[in-house]
């Protein structure tokens, strides 16, 4: 008898389940405390019973639609100006409603990568400050700006929840677990723009670039269509993090992307293929958001003693500069910029240096100069443009020279080498002359090529007067014509 009663109860429960209207659901990224992108259409989407009427109200707008046969629905709010006044969004279906509170309108950026982007504010607070330095390691104690909001992607917790949680004010426990580079980017952006800033952080320590895009991102490029060797092979678990940590965020309206990754691929001794992988990633993310103009700003991986690493791959002191070179090649992709880090690690045994506050600031400079009309800001340090042989010396031109080139420590320029036709590079004398750098060396009467910062342990001192270091380069780069 008890068994029969259990079966009847189960049948009733199943009957109730299948006759209940489908619940109104929202993706995790849409919730309380969020920041919506200003001056752009804003997509709001979710799930409900097939055929249900849906209405979304926010900021004196109401948009209506009806769910499809699969229960999906989407509306697009008209572009709105920035607003630091907390707003309320009301979403209604036939039998359900959701009210989201404390919503602002401002600038939204997505930051991603591996451990140096994941590096948390908690770790930042544990940095030892040398005497005489004023490093922002106490930021957790002072960060209480209600206009900076953060969303930390946890791939195990991206399903809808009834609390509509995920977005937080950048303070206290939420900030402790958040990307330090992402937070300091937001802080600088708010200081300059005085509008709400939202930052989404989606990073995995130790991750290669491949898991951050699906396999079709690779096959869309001819470079990966001929997989006859390891250089052109598609490896590294494509799509593993893309499907759970990037795709669920779209089409949430954002301004652009911030990327700090590459160490794992550098350890694999990758070169030109990494540039193409960056192109595949950038193309895919822009395609996912339906906007080929979204800016993509990325960070040069930090100085590290790769040459001391043990394993099957033999590294040299030039392995890292060669990887920096293929990172720099990605600047050929439109709407990109690269943050230099050659001055941000003085312990080459530490793969995760601090100074994330400066990484965030420099990323903000890229955005402010390129996307917000700040003509007074130079986005990058000096970037090699071209060379000219002048007798026994070579003259180097740079873009992003800003208001002028300089030695940041007042000493003679260092880190330059020069070679003749024999290809043997020797230390060179370099001087700044009329906003160019002239390079020469005794015994080199007919110079052919110049290299700068071409050593993992080098800390060159060529900067622009805006305080940004020059990117390492070699004028004899064999790859520059191979990436188009």
Residue with tokens 């622009």: 464
Q: What is the pLDDT of residue 71?
A: 96
Residue 54 near residue 66, CB atoms below 8 Å:
yes
Question: Do the bridges between strand 97-113 and strand 148-152 make them parallel or antiparallel, or are there none, so unpaired?
Answer: unpaired
How do residues 391-437 score in pLDDT, each as one tens digit?
999 999 999 999 999 999 999 999 999 999 999 999 999 999 999 99
164: which 2 tokens?
Answer: 């509509």
Backbone angles phi, psi at 226, to 5 degrees: -115, 85
Best CA proximity match to 297, nearest among 370, 232, 200? 370
Calculate the CA 291 to chain-centre distance: 17
pLDDT of residue 14: 33
What are the distances in angstroms from CA 4 to CA 14, 75, 93? 15, 48, 38
Strand, helix or coil for residue 42:
strand
User: 419 pairs with which residues across the strands?
Assistant: 449
pTM value is: 0.94
What averages of pLDDT result for each successive group of 10 residues across the chain (484 residues)? Answer: 35 34 88 98 97 97 97 98 98 96 98 98 95 94 97 93 95 97 98 98 98 97 84 93 98 98 97 97 98 98 95 92 98 98 94 96 98 97 97 98 97 98 97 97 97 95 98 94 86
449: which strand partners? 419
Measured CA to CA in angstroms, residue 194 lies from 185, 191, 252, 379 at distances of 13, 6, 22, 19
What is the rounded end-to-end Cα distance, in angstroms, of the chain? 76
Query: What is the predicted pLDDT for the residue at 363?
Result: 98
Q: What is the pLDDT of residue 21?
A: 43
Task: Determine the distance from the C-alpha atom of residue 353 to the mean position of all C-alpha atoms in its chain, rounded to a whole number.
Answer: 17
Count of H-run helices and E-run strands, the chain: 11, 23
CA distance 41 to 252: 10
User: DSSP secondary-structure letter at 91?
Assistant: E
pLDDT at 244: 97
């Amino acid at each position: 008898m008890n068994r029969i009663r259990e079966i009847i109860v189960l049948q009733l429960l199943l009957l109730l389940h299948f006759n209940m209207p489908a619940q109104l659901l929202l993706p995790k990224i849409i919730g309380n405390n969020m920041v919506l992108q200003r001056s752009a259409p804003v997509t709001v989407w979710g799930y409900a019973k097939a055929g249900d009427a849906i209405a979304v109200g926010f900021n004196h707008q109401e948009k209506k639609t009806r769910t499809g046969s699969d229960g999906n629905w989407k509306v697009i709010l008209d572009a709105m100006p920035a607003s630091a006044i907390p707003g309320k969004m009301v979403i209604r279906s036939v039998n359900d409603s959701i009210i989201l509170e404390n919503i602002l309108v401002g600038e939204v950026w997505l930051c991603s990568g591996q451990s140096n982007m994941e590096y948390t504010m908690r770790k930042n607070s544990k940095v030892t400050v040398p005497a005489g330095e004023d490093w922002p390691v106490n930021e957790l104690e002072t960060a209480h700006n209600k206009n900076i909001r953060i969303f930390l992607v946890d791939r195990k917790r991206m399903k809808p929840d009834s609390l509509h949680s995920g977005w937080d004010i950048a303070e206290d426990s939420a900030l402790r677990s958040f990307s330090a580079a992402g937070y300091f980017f937001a802080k600088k952006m708010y200081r300059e723009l005085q509008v709400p800033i939202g930052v989404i952080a989606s990073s995995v320590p130790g991750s290669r670039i491949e898991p951050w895009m699906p396999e079709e991102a690779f096959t869309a490029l001819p470079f990966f269509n001929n997989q006859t060797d390891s250089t052109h092979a598609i490896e590294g678990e494509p799509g593993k993090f893309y499907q759970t940590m990037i795709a669920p965020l779209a089409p949430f309206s954002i301004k652009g992307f911030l990327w700090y990754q590459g160490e794992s691929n550098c350890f694999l001794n990758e070169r030109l293929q990494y540039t193409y992988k960056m192109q595949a990633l950038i193309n895919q993310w822009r395609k996912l958001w339906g906007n080929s103009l979204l800016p993509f700003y990325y960070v040069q991986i930090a100085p590290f003693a790769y040459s001391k690493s043990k394993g099957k791959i033999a590294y040299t002191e030039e392995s890292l500069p060669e990887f920096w070179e293929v990172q720099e090649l990605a600047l050929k992709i439109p709407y990109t910029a690269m943050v230099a880090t050659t001055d941000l690690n003085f312990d080459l045994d530490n793969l995760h240096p601090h100074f994330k506050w400066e990484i965030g600031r420099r990323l903000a400079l890229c955005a402010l100069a390129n996307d917000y009309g700040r003509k007074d800001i130079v986005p990058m340090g000096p970037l090699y443009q071209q060379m000219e042989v002048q007798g026994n010396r070579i003259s180097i031109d740079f873009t992003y020279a800003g208001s002028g080139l300089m030695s940041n420590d007042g000493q003679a320029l260092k880190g330059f080498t020069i070679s003749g036709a024999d290809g043997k590079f020797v230390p060179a004398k370099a001087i700044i002359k009329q906003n160019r750098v002239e390079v020469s060396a005794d015994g080199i009467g007919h110079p052919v090529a110049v290299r700068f910062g071409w050593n993992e342990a080098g800390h060159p001192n060529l900067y622009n007067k805006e305080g940004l270091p020059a990117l390492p380069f070699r004028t004899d780069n064999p790859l520059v014509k191979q990436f188009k």
